[in-house]
Structure 1
């Protein structure tokens, strides 16, 4: 296994969508009902703003796309391009927490360190821009990883979908070590 990390580029978008769909469709099944897994596609997916902002990472395992995820200096906590309630307002690092966003691991690459590698890169980049905290909206499938990486629960909530199904999420946060003061 040889994991490599790089920033995503616009040419990655089609392959990223495929990876995200596989991740949502398979990795949420042990945690949600079939209706809730299907409804998850309404609120999760690709946020191309992260790629445009240069804050979205791709992990490859011997050249195969193994995972992706990023962070944001924008107010949106979760959701893809198609999701409602997005907010592109810039956050204030002195007051706001950076957002860890759109974390997905391909089902063939779970438990190989992909998520940890992405989280470390996100946290380092956010700290480098002066953020002292990160927050995220995790799925029930992702919660164990986030806990293992030092994130703590802030609140549990459900996200409504167009299918009338509420998808459970957990808002989590973490103080960043090595944050640069501005």
Structure 2
């Protein structure tokens, strides 16, 4: 059965918490030490504003929750509900990029096109809303997916708000029809 996707609803939130926890714990551990993985939980997570805005998707693989992710027309670039410093200011599609946010794949469903499906859905929705560019904050584990989908690194940086340094990369791509396309999953 092929992957299916749909907009997330508030009823999905309880099931997303263990998915996000598994993704952070298992997918980051080959790249980061245990303290960095634990600190990542403080700066990552689902932002329910995306669900409320109708810009967050869930992906199912043969009926099982396989992943999630969304896009935003708001200024916050990354972080979950519990992350400090979020900014709900609306972005101007004519001058600012939409944000790809809170993408997670359950570890049992990696390498099956879940992330690419979320990216395609987000990019199409952002383009339909008038945005011509998208940007995201990539973890070391997510960066290979984004690079394969045509994103380029705009800035190497880190988050040390927890007292532990977590490497990140701000990445972006054009939504123009001639830009690199993520292609099929």
TM-score range, shorter chain: over 0.9
Which residue pairs with 2:46 in the alignment?
46
Which residue pairs with 1:168 in the alignment?
167
Secondary structure of the structure 2 residue equivalent to 1:123: helix
Alignment of 1:111-126 (within 5 A): 111-126=111-126
Which residue pairs with 1:142 in the alignment?
142
Secondary structure of the structure 2 residue equivalent to 1:58: strand
Q: CA deviation at 1:178?
A: 4.2
Q: How many residues matched? A: 178
User: What do residues 124-171 of structure 1 show as CA deviations (whole Å, max 9, x unaligned)?
Assistant: 000001000000001000000000000000001111233x10111100
Q: CA deviation at 1:11?
A: 0.3
Which residue pairs with 2:98 in the alignment?
98
Counterpart contact for 1:77–1:99, Cα < 8 Å? yes
Distance 2:161 2:40 in 1: 8
Which residue pairs with 2:10 in the alignment?
10
The root-mean-square deviation of aligned C-alpha atoms, in Å, is: 1.1
Distance 2:121 2:20 in 1: 19
Counterpart contact for 1:6–1:59, Cα < 8 Å? yes
- TM-score w.r.t. length of structure 1: 0.96
Which residue pairs with 1:177 in the alignment?
176
Q: CA deviation at 1:177?
A: 2.6
Distance 1:148 1:178 in 2: 17
Runs of 5+ unmatched residues, structure 1? none
Counterpart contact for 1:161–1:167, Cα < 8 Å? no
Counterpart contact for 1:127–1:178, Cα < 8 Å? no
Distance 2:46 2:8 in 1: 12
Which residue pairs with 2:63 in the alignment?
63
Distance 1:62 1:138 in 2: 28
Runs of 5+ unmatched residues, structure 2? 179-185
